[in-house]
């Protein structure tokens, strides 16, 4: 028996936390982690109490339309923010995608049966292309600052949208685009169905696939990821491409809703998207964030806008409310870090 080595043991957290205090810390951590969904439920309850219209089918349908664009953008932005990045160009992509759709719709390829599809494909590809450009500049150009890179492409893409449209709104989009933007399946807006589908795809990618795990790994520890043989550059590339694609799809929804492609569309939508991700509890420092919470983040923005509208509060207060929530969300992120450190200290003391 003397040959049997003693085992290397990593104690369970329960042993590390001294009694009640540890349990409270854990509970608080749980609450903070569920934050966005709790905030959404509280807001919805408050709005229901304040306005008899809030919980009506018609208003919820409206809410679905209003939220879907930000939600699509936020899903793309989440992927990028998970890798410690940011994509400021998505609002401009919405405009480019819209005017490009209008231009392709007027071109000969859009005649005939597959015309709608050609337009939709062009709009998605516009987003994909900008995303690929963002990714390439970051990875190949070794400019490891996504804020500046995408600030640059924001301006370039907005400029291109104005150039190719002669700064005019382009009309004549095919019916399919209109359906995507304004259609309904029963009471459910088509764009909301699209959001659910995209969210499901994003969830599978992030929570179930190897590539998704690597996205978290790159965000959590880029140099460590490289050392573990993870193709960091390709992972980064992929998130910018997907974010661009999401922006192209958001462009489809915006163009469908307004039945036109405007080179001025989507201004400041990038901020809405980033706001939704942050309110959705993802960490700006990368590596943390979930699809469900980010969709909740987009819904929170939607509920605030919609609810304050119903209550006849001026839109200026919406800005104040949403801005405040961003700061609260950041504070929650800090609080989460604090709670985790407390758990850690508790464990270290107990295991020594």
Partner 1 sequence: MTALLEVRGATKSYGAVRALDGASLEVAPAEVVALLGDNGAGKSTLIKAIAGVHRLDGGEIAVDGRPVVLRSPTEARRLGIETLHQDLSLFDNLSARANFHIGREPCRPRWLGRLGLLDERAMTREWTAHLERTRTRMDDPDGEVGVLSGGQRQAVAVLRAVAFASRLVILDEPTAALGLREAGKVLDLVRSLPEQGVAVLLISHNLEHVAQVADRAVVLRQGRVVGQAAPTPDNHERLVSMIVGAHGSMAATVDEGGQ
Binding footprint of partner 1 on the chain (CB under 8 A): 4-13, 15-16, 204-205, 208-211, 213-214, 216-217, 219-221, 223-230, 287-288, 340, 343-344, 347-348, 351-352
Shortest Cβ 124–partner 1 spacing (Å): 19
Pick 7 or 314: Cβ nearer partner 1 = 7
Shortest Cβ 226–partner 1 spacing (Å): 7
Pick 184 or 213: Cβ nearer partner 1 = 213
Instruction: For the chain, give the number of residues.
Output: 352
Shortest Cβ 285–partner 1 spacing (Å): 9
Q: Of the candidates 43, 15, 19, which has an alpha carbon nearest to the alpha carbon of residue 322?
A: 43
Pick 285 or 317: Cβ nearer partner 1 = 285
Shortest Cβ 241–partner 1 spacing (Å): 14
Pick 19 or 229: Cβ nearer partner 1 = 229
Pick 314 or 352: Cβ nearer partner 1 = 352
**217-241 residues labelled b (16+ CB within 10 A) or e (exposed):** bbbbebeebeeeebebeebbbbbbb
Tokens of 84: 């410690």
Shortest Cβ 342–partner 1 spacing (Å): 9
Sequence-separated (6 or more) residues with CB below 8 Å from residue 41 = none
Pick 130 or 230: Cβ nearer partner 1 = 230
Shortest Cβ 283–partner 1 spacing (Å): 8
User: Residue ranges of the alpha helices (H) in 34-114?
Assistant: 35-50, 57-82, 90-106
SS3 184: strand
Euclidean distance between CA atoms 242 and 7, whole angstroms: 46
Q: How far is CA 275 from CA 189, 238, 338, in A?
A: 23, 22, 22
**Apex CA 215: angle with CA 223 and CA 219, to 5°?**
45
């Amino acid at each position: 028996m003397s040959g049997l080595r003693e085992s290397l043991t990593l104690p369970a957290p329960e042993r590390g936390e001294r009694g009640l205090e540890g349990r409270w810390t854990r509970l608080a951590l749980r609450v903070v982690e569920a934050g966005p969904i709790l905030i959404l439920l509280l807001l919805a309850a408050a709005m229901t109490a304040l306005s008899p219209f809030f919980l009506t089918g018609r208003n919820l349908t409206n809410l679905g339309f209003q939220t879907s664009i930000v939600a699509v953008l936020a899903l793309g932005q989440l992927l990028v923010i998970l890798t410690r990045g940011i994509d400021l160009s998505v609002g401009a992509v919405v405009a480019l995608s819209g005017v490009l759709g209008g231009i392709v719709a007027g071109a000969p390829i859009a005649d005939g049966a597959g015309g709608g599809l050609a337009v939709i494909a062009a709009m998605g590809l516009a987003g994909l292309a900008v995303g690929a450009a963002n990714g390439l500049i970051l990875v190949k150009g070794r400019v490891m600052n996504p804020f500046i890179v995408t600030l640059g492409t924001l301006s370039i893409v907005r400029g291109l949208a104005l150039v190719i449209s002669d700064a005019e709104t382009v009309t004549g989009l095919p019916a399919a685009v209109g359906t995507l933007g304004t259609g309904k399946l029963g009471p459910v807006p088509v764009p909301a169905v699209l959001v659910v589908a995209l969210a499901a795809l994003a969830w599978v990618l992030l929570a179930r696939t190897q590539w998704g795990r690597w996205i978290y790994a790159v965000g959590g520890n880029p140099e460590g990821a490289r050392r573990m043989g993870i193709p960091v550059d390709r992972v980064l590339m992929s998130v910018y491409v997907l974010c661009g694609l999401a922006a192209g799809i958001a462009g489809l929804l915006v163009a469908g809703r307004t039945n036109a492609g405007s080179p001025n569309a989507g201004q400041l939508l990038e901020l809405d998207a980033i706001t939704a991700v942050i309110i959705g509890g993802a960490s700006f420092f990368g590596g943390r964030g979930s699809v469900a919470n980010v969709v909740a983040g987009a819904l929170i923005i939607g509920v605030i806008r919609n609810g304050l509208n119903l209550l006849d509060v001026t839109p200026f207060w919406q800005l104040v409310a949403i801005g405040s929530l961003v700061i609260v969300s950041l504070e929650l992120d800090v609080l989460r870090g604090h709670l985790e450190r407390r758990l850690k200290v508790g464990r270290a003391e107990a295991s020594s």
